[in-house]
A and B are shown apart, each in its own frame.
Chain A
């Protein structure tokens, strides 16, 4: 018997039992749908985080006191500006080193007040981070050296305080002290939940006086190229360890952040896919069950076909093709719904979703495989039926 003929016969059999076929398919549809959507969400989350990290700038090394890692207690910083000068000497290029001191402070214009992250930094920030200005200028060396009370506003802060008015040249009050606005940043979004559009940048020296502590929170270094990152990272940590033998310092790179977070999110995606895969498996058991019922119901038909000359493999093929058709048609519907669902989630919710070809291919392959795997037992049973017994069946 030809394959085309077997296919036509199987389709006919599925059509005759339309409701049952649909319900059986539903299990596979849901399984495949779940695989495609969950993998899309997992992948979307990973892409979004990677984009955030990449959006910081390129070849950045962040130096912070203490040990960075899960379960490590936050360490009180004992770094100050002399350490920054020391790191600058270690790095060799002072322009590629910048500093951060952070504090949450209220920022007020007239009666409008917003709570912002006050970040003390210096003129080197734009050399290292991607932080385009919408208006005005960056901090200058003079601003830092003379502790000028000047500020650059994050896009959100500027919008909340000034609305459509250009803030450059106007006054804001930060923690009770008046500052002159010299610039406004472009909208950059957030990184790791840090809303960078809610920052206000002031000279690090001014910030230290405002906060009342000579400490800094971290040092950021821009490497001149990807190959430069690792040696530089080691050199800086070694130098700081030598300067403070009883303290620990950590230097993290974007690549390391990407690596760690990427691994976690890939694992998460894998777990989601596995859970969805289980529902696909359950769908397969449903197919097997229905095929067994179908074989029993059609015992007489099988007997007749055998009497008319159907070989064991013809009958086996017929039932196997039916099972595989059920799961592949179900798989295709599941893929369509899954892709549609992922696009809908992308469109209507803040959850990012990225459809990956491998999850679609895998879901389809697995559903076809499920059809073969769970179809074989019922199909063999059908193929082996004794024609005399089968013909007598009621």
Chain B
């Protein structure tokens, strides 16, 4: 008997997603097979309309597949109701969005602590963990600042701190540098790389920028709702 292999961060088998648009069925994903292991650093690349955003939403458990199987951390999402799915998002996935998605008039500390609120963590512990997360992204001096008073780079670092605060297995980053200038984009990418290397969190980033994609150890190319090429190999 061999020791059981640790569950993959994501495992997709014949994943499909179609939408109804004005009565017409549009297939966004047409059968994706994919396996992303713990601690990987992956870029999902593709032109707009390729289905990469849909894939991202499915991996992030924000959406459900029309058919096929998706396992997150070994759990088949089809077996989870909306409440359990929300809990899964809360505990295993950290999100970083292109447009940051921070609460503009809420201090950085409270923005970062928000995932812990939904986990029922007591306030003192929330503050301690949010402070630590903000220090980790180099914003220990801006705890009480509101996002509206911060630069784009700082805002994205707050968002990364928020993604990290709950000790997720995976960070899903959707065009994390898309709204940033080169220098800030560079800084954010560095942060994600360090995060991946230091704490072993898997990072899955969706991008259409070749330079950003080039920094990932594995690149998955998506086109027309299918995986076109995978530099890491689906079995790994």
Query: A and B: partners?
Result: yes
Q: Which residues of A contact B (CB under 8 A)?
A: 1-2, 5, 9, 12, 16, 300-301, 303-314, 386-388, 391
Tell me, rounded to whole Å, the shortest Cβ–Cβ distance linking A327 to chain B: 24
- A307-B62, A307-B95, A311-B118 known; A388 and B57 CB under 8 Å? yes
Cβ-defined partner of B105 (8 Å) among A16, A310, A313, A387: A16
Interface pair B62/A387, CB less than 8 Å apart: yes
Tell me, rounded to whole Å, the shortest Cβ–Cβ distance linking A277 to chain B: 37
Q: Is the interface of A mostly helix, strand, loop or mixed?
A: helix
- A1-B120, A387-B62, A388-B57 known; A305 and B83 CB under 8 Å? no
Tell me, rounded to whole Å, the shortest Cβ–Cβ distance linking A67 to chain B: 72
Interface pair A307/B60, CB less than 8 Å apart: yes
Interface pair B62/A1, CB less than 8 Å apart: no
Cβ-defined partner of A307 (8 Å) among B82, B89, B103, B166: B89
Interface pair B89/A388, CB less than 8 Å apart: no
Nearest first, the 4 A-B pairs at minimum CB distance are A309-B90, A309-B118, A311-B86, A308-B115
Name the CB-closest residue of A to B58: A388
Residue B63 at the chain A interface, CB threshold 8 Å: yes
From A5, A12, A311, A312, name the one whose CB has the most chain B CB atoms within 10 angstroms.
Answer: A311
Residue B114 at the chain A interface, CB threshold 8 Å: yes
Interface pair B120/A2, CB less than 8 Å apart: yes
Name the CB-closest residue of A to B122: A2
In whole angstroms, how far apart are the Cα atoms of A310 and B62 in the complex?
A: 12
Return chain A residues, CB-CB under 8 Å to B82: 311-312
Residue B91 at the chain A interface, CB threshold 8 Å: yes
- A301-B103, A307-B95, A309-B89 known; A391 and B62 CB under 8 Å? yes
- A314-B118, A388-B57, A388-B63 known; A308 and B95 CB under 8 Å? yes
Range, interface on chain B: 20 to 34
- A310-B86, A311-B83, A311-B86 known; A305 and B114 CB under 8 Å? yes
Return chain B residues, CB-CB under 8 Å to A311: 82-83, 86-87, 118
In whole angstroms, how far apart are the Cα atoms of A307 and B115 in the complex?
A: 9
In whole angstroms, how far apart are the Cα atoms of A313 and B95 in the complex?
A: 21
* Cβ contacts A to B, 28 pairs, < 8 Å: A2-B120, A5-B117, A5-B123, A12-B106, A16-B105, A303-B101, A305-B118, A307-B89, A308-B89, A308-B90, A308-B114, A308-B115, A308-B162, A309-B87, A309-B89, A309-B90, A309-B115, A309-B118, A309-B119, A309-B166, A311-B82, A311-B83, A311-B86, A312-B82, A386-B63, A388-B57, A391-B62, A391-B97
Interface pair B97/A1, CB less than 8 Å apart: no
Return chain B residues, CB-CB under 8 Å to A387: 62-63
